[in-house]
Structure 1
Amino acid sequence: MKQSLDGMTIGFIGLGLMGKPMCANLHSAGANLVVHNRTHAVAEAMQQDGIKAVTTPVQVAELCDLVIIMTPDTTSVENVLFGEQGLSKVLHSRSLVIDMGTTAVTPTRVFASRLAECGAEYIDAPVSGGEIGAIDGDLVIMAGGSKGAIHRAQPVFDVLGKSTVHIGEVGTGQVTKAANQVIVGLNIGAVAEAFTLASGAGADLNKVREALMGGFASSRILEVHGQRMIDESFAPGGKITTQYKDLSQAIDLAAEFSQQLPATELNKSFYGELIDAGKGGLDHSALILALETHQVEK
């Protein structure tokens, strides 16, 4: 049973594929919400009893001590925090800011340090589970921050997710998410290659998937994304552009520690081809479309 958030007021910034259903779950749990989105009409459309739409991030911080950010990239997080109408203008010692998007690690640590100067606490708590997990409230949350801050955020996390792991200090949540995205990206690539092979050799992909789901190849990627590939159903649950950005961040992080991720580099290049072909808004399971262009002509 999900925890009640009755009496709590939560700020939420970023109302995209993930943000909207996350807000819906918080509201259903009893929280009052103050919401903001770069496109104000999106926030305005959500306005109802218990959900107030505002036009700037600073207005969110004026009305809420706890603010969640769910925006698409590092630059947007920085703008929300430190832009002309950013949260940092009015943050104080009772403020807790939680970034639940996928943000680069080193900037995350810088953001936390800058907010500490205002007395505010910062948690990086990226999630896994995609739009389905956001809708169902069973996201996996990877959190970095102080024990006190995580304890304070836990009732919110319990509503949004099925599990929360406190990884360590600020930034370690994003380190974990980078590892997650490497695994997700490569697994989507593995399923796409396997299906391309099986289809080319004349096998029924529905039967192939059914058989593989019963053995060591079974995975959530094969279950969900494999079915999307078979159905050619690529409405975005997680966009190609987002996967490309996340893999880029993982590669950049590896470079900071003099590491190379050769398989990830190759995987990223296929997502890049789809973006170049104007297909970046499709679900990342559409990676299989890139592999089709690499088949040898007979």
Structure 2
Amino acid sequence: MSQNVAFIGLGIMGLPMAKNLVNAGFTVTGFNRSPKAIDDLVAAGGKGATSIADAVKDADIVITMVPDSPDVQGVVTGEEGVFANAKSGALWIDNSSIRPDVAVALASEAREAGLRPLDAPVSGGEAGAIEGVLSIMVGGDTADFEAAKPVLDAVGKTIVLVGPSGSGQTVKAANQLIVAANIQALSEAVVFLEAYGVDTDAAIKVLGGGLAGSKVLDQKAQKILDREFAPGFRLALHNKDMGIVTSAAREAGVVLPLGALVAQLVTSTVASGDGALDHSGLFRGVQRLAGKVEAPLPA
């Protein structure tokens, strides 16, 4: 590939995505607040930048992958941001998960700056990012989507244009609602099974082969059984996403009874000190409610 890609945000998801772009033949220049992540990208064949402005100045495509709406606003606006320093006509792909209304507003600002915006949040967690099989829901113009397809193909497997700007973030919010509800149900099922002394490994195997089977069960059940909650996707971020779900639902005038309850359960688990854990750590919140609190995990 002859295209230059600037990648802003080399975290749990961003770094493996950037590495996959390098492996696909793109020239990738990365910037991150932590210099170690930049060093890791350079070791994988990418380039490092000293600032956002430095990273994006020669980029044909700018990708942002940061935690929340204010973070995206912080890296794209201002004198040192993407909009002021990227060249006219460059694609801006935001793989972050943020509020749909913020995505719409920033897309408008990007167009005024001469950029072509796509909101393209991803699903699949750290494993999906490493393996390059993320599900990517994209909002924006069809022509821009087609232009961005080679880049998206390098990091994802299921890639769908779901509507105009902001639509990708709306679909991602729905995704996070479904995932959180599934993890909550799986956590409750494991607590229930353990209370009866069932062989949980056998139970999960047979449940996975029936209608109860899901990607959440496939990817998260063993983490719960092993009490191994190293973050692939942190609970604190899922808590943020559930806040997006509930606020967007209120703005749309729709009622999400289960979503509202699960959002509170996620918040409770985070408030109990488990925000840095993988979102399968929602299981610990169920344990607390059941009076089966285990020893705190090491910091």
State whether residues 57 and 87 of structure 2, in contact with CA within 8 Å, keep that contact through their aligned partners in structure 1. Answer: no
CA displacement, residues 224-244 of structure 1 (integer Å, 9 cap, x when unaligned): 111110111111111100110
Contact between 1:15 and 1:37, CA under 8 Å: does it hold in 2? Answer: yes
Amino acid at match of 2:105: V
CA distance in structure 2 between the partners assigned to 1:193 and 1:220 by the alignment:
17
Distance in 1 separating the partners of 2:247 and 2:92: 25
4+ runs deviating over 4 angstroms: none
2:60 maps to 65
Identical counterparts, % of pairs = 36
Equivalent-residue separation in structure 1 for 2:78 and 2:206 (angstroms): 52
Equivalent-residue separation in structure 1 for 2:288 and 2:159 (angstroms): 40
> Aligned pair in 2 of structure 1 residues 76, 162: CA closer, same or farther (>3 Å)?
same
What's the counterpart of residue 46 of structure 1?
41
Question: Per-residue CA shift, 1:232-269, capped at 9, x if unaligned?
Answer: 11111111001101111111110111223221222122
Deviation at 1:91, TM superposition (A): 3.3
* Residue in structure 2 matched with residue 157 of structure 1 by the alignment: 152
| Matching residue within 277, 285, 296 for 2:280 | 285
What pairs with 1:164-175 in structure 2 (closer than 5 Å)? 164-175=159-170
Deviation at residue 159 of structure 1 after TM alignment = 1.0
The answer to whether the Cα contact below 8 Å between 1:139 and 1:162 also exists between their aligned partners in 2 is yes
Moved more, 265-274 or 78-87: 265-274
Asked if 1 retains the 8 angstrom alpha-carbon contact of 2:177 and 2:245, the reply is yes
Give the corresponding residue for 1:24.
19
Q: Indicate which of 32, 37, 45 corresponds to 2:32.
A: 37
Once the two structures are superposed, residues 29-59 of structure 1 have per-residue CA deviations (whole angstroms, 9 ceiling, x without a partner) of 1111110012234213422484221122122
Q: Tell me if structure 2 keeps the 8 A contact 1:58–1:85.
A: yes
Query: Aligned AA for 2:145?
Result: I
Contact 1:40 1:55 in 2 (8 A): no
Work out whether residues 11 and 35 of structure 1, in 8 Å CA contact, stay in contact via their aligned partners in 2: yes
Q: Which residue, 115, 119, 132 being the options, matches 2:110?
A: 115
TM-score by length of 1: 0.94
- Counterpart position of 2:71: 76
Taking the TM superposition and a 5 Å limit, the aligned residue runs for 1:144-223 are 144-223=139-218
Provide the rounded CA distance (Å) in 1 between the counterparts of 2:92 and 2:194.
48
CA distance, structure 2, for counterparts of residue 57 and residue 130 of structure 1: 25
SS of 1:143's equivalent? strand
Bigger mean CA deviation after superposition, 41-50 or 261-270 = 41-50
Of 56, 78, 86, which aligns to 2:51?
A: 56
What is the letter of the counterpart of residue 115 of structure 1? Answer: A
Q: CA RMSD, aligned part only?
A: 1.4
Alignment check: 8 A CA contact 2:59 2:87 kept: no
> Residue deviations 1:58-89, cap 9 Å, x none?
22221212101111111110001103410111
Please name the residue that 1:9 is paired with.
4
CA contact (8 A) 1:58 1:88 kept: no
Partners of 2:27 and 2:87 in 1: CA distance: 21
Measure how far apart 1:93 and its partner are. Answer: 3.0
Contact 1:102 1:174 in 2 (8 A): yes
Measured in 1, the distance between the counterparts of 2:78 and 2:258 equals 37
Residue 277 of structure 1: how far off its partner (Å): 2.2
1:102 equivalent among 97, 100, 125: 97
How far apart are residue 296 of structure 1 and its match?
5.5
CA distance in 2, matches of 1:50, 1:294: 48
1:61 & 1:26 partners in 2: Cα distance?
Answer: 16
User: Which among 112, 125, 128 is matched to residue 123 of structure 2?
Assistant: 128
1:63 is paired with a residue whose SS is coil
Which residue of structure 2 aligns with residue 227 of structure 1?
222
CA contact (8 A) 1:34 1:63 kept: no
Distance 1:14 1:81 in 2: 12
Distance 2:37 2:43 in 1: 13
1:239 aligns with 2:241: no
Structure 2: give runs of 5+ residues left out of the alignment: 293-299
Structure 2 match to 1:3? none
For these two proteins, the number of residue pairs brought into alignment is 292
Structure-2 residue corresponding to 1:258: 253
Gaps of 5+ in 1: 1-5
